[in-house]
Amino acid sequence: MNLELIDAKVPEIQGAVLVLPAFEVKKGSNDLQSSGLDEVDRVSGGLVRELYRTGEFKGKALEALLLHRVYGLHTPRLLLIGCGEREKLTPALLGKLAGTAVRTLKQKSLMDATLYLDALMAEEGNVAEIASGAVAGDFEVHHLKTQEKDDKIFAQFRIAMDGGAAMLQGAMQKGKILGEAQNYARDLANMPGNLLPPRELVEKAKELARQTAVQVDILYRSRMEELGMGALLAVAQGSEEPPFLVHMVYEPDSVTSPIHLGLIGKAVTFDSGGISIKPSDGMEKMKYDMAGGAAVLGAMRAIAALRPNMRISSFVPIVENMPSGKAMRPGDILKSLSGKTIEVLNTDAEGRLILADAITYAKQQGCTHLVDAATLTGAIAVALGYEHVGLFSNNDAFSAQISEAAKAAGERFWPMPLDDEYKEYLKSDFADIANIGGRWGGACTAAKFLEEFAGDTPWAHLDIAGTAWLENPKPYMPKGPTGVAVKTFVELAVRMAHRS
């Protein structure tokens, strides 16, 4: 997609489609609350107010109405997209609006649009989110189809305003970088296990490192055995695919910050559950059990482009969890890199095992702050549905920073409890800790397990199991992987670098 930011008045805009954000109008009011809508209404002889009056358009959030040959406009089509109440407008909603515009028009084979922002909307955060949302809205999941494949790419998306475009070019470029990073992560998470096994995901990481200003170190099985990563290796031992730990380092030219941020992402390229095998219904979606790792790789791609002045490392443990005569068994006791022993009560609680060793290794590499993202528990979807990421942390100040970054990135996080009592659920008679804590509070006990390996290092865990995959399409996003956490990771890195 080609993105462009231009100065133009509404009647001057050309191209295939003019897109206008439109607000709900209070009953009995004649105020459209938008100079762009006012101008279209004026040149068209009152068309916009007539649409509101008749109820053909109400301005509800993401409601879309495509009009043809509106008098007084140079564009042959006008697309109105609802924003709800003006007082509740956020950059995140404008990003969804841009994605809705792209997807609505693509369905009609229209690949050229200009979205106009009035003076009150033409600001940095809004422009960045619009650019990001437009790029993300262009993502499709059907690239492996050979018949009836619609591979059209949206050609041109402009953001127009009545003056000041030159001042916001940087915001548009940032949004484009974020949208492309999110789509990169979604592409990885959408690949099936036979096409993206661990060895192929490692090649993707190497390719990313070659294309960006990051260094990469790949830990193979032999090195992990030397180090003593018994938890990570145990998960992989049932598969013919070898395990890996991808360690990437972004380092600016001159490091002035004492902070070393570590991003950690679970990457189980396919999760059968192992000996504690999952039900077959829905198992095909377990190709996205590496969405946390994909988010970390996508974030590193964007970080390398935005170049915050802070050292940032990423750690992606990559395995396949399969049942076989070599697979780990319930009852096995593993010795982790930290030295702690772990009793395996369920082999389908494998993500926390590979993360435990990755967290310990990240600490050994000097990271001062850690954040992991993982499709860790179905319990988080029971608790929060498919709407929020569960945020767990051992440090209130760090948790607040992550929440602020998520809000700025347009992603919804919800703080979850991590009380000491949850450790009681993980008691083992035979090892230092068990890998599950029973039926109740599953998301909390999983996070408590990880906290044992984070220790005193400021750390946060993002359980994205309920938000990494969209089962039903949205107006701005197709069914499939969402790329959640990519934008928050990047926003957190940029903010931490700026503050330090």
Digit-coded pLDDT (tens) for 284-317: 999 999 999 999 999 999 999 999 999 999 999 9
pLDDT of res. 257:
86
- Of 9, 86, 278, 423, catalytic: 278
pLDDT for 29: 86
pLDDT one-digit tens code per residue, 398-413? 999 999 999 999 999 9
Q: Which CATH architecture has domain 178-499?
A: 3-Layer(aba) Sandwich (3.40)
pLDDT (tens digit, 9 = 90+) per residue, 472-499? 999 999 999 999 999 999 999 999 999 8
Per-residue confidence (pLDDT) for residue 253, from 0 to 100: 86
What pLDDT is stored for residue 148 in this prediction?
Answer: 59
Catalytic option among 77, 186, 352, 363: 352
Give the strand pairing for 311-321 and 260-265: parallel
**Spatial separation of the C-alpha atoms in residues 200 and 168, rounded to whole Å:** 39
The pLDDT, as a whole number, for residue 500 is 79
Distances (CA, A) of 75 to 10, 39, 157: 10, 14, 14
CATH number of 2-162: 3.40.220.10
Residue 278 is a catalytic residue: yes
Per-residue pLDDT averaged across 109-121, rounded? 96
- Pairwise CA distance, residues 351 & 333, whole Å: 16
The 10s digit of each residue's pLDDT in 52-91 is 999 999 999 999 999 999 999 999 999 999 999 999 999 9
Question: What's the pLDDT tens digit per position in 131-188?
Answer: 999 999 999 998 888 875 555 789 999 999 999 999 999 999 999 999 999 999 999 9
Confidence (pLDDT) at 151: 57
Query: Bridge-partner residues for 112, per DSSP?
Result: 156
Residue 150: the pLDDT is: 56
pLDDT of residue 26 exceeding 90: no
Please say if the pLDDT value at position 379 is more than 60: yes
User: What is the predicted pLDDT for the residue at 236?
Assistant: 98
- Does the annotation mark 145 as catalytic? no
What does the domain layout of the chain look like in residue ranges? 2-162, 178-499
Above 70 in pLDDT, residue 378?
yes
Closest residue by Cα to residue 261 from 205, 217, 300, 209: 300
**Average pLDDT of the chain?**
96
pLDDT of residue 328: 98
**Mean predicted confidence (pLDDT) in 450-478:** 97
State the pLDDT at residue 153.
80
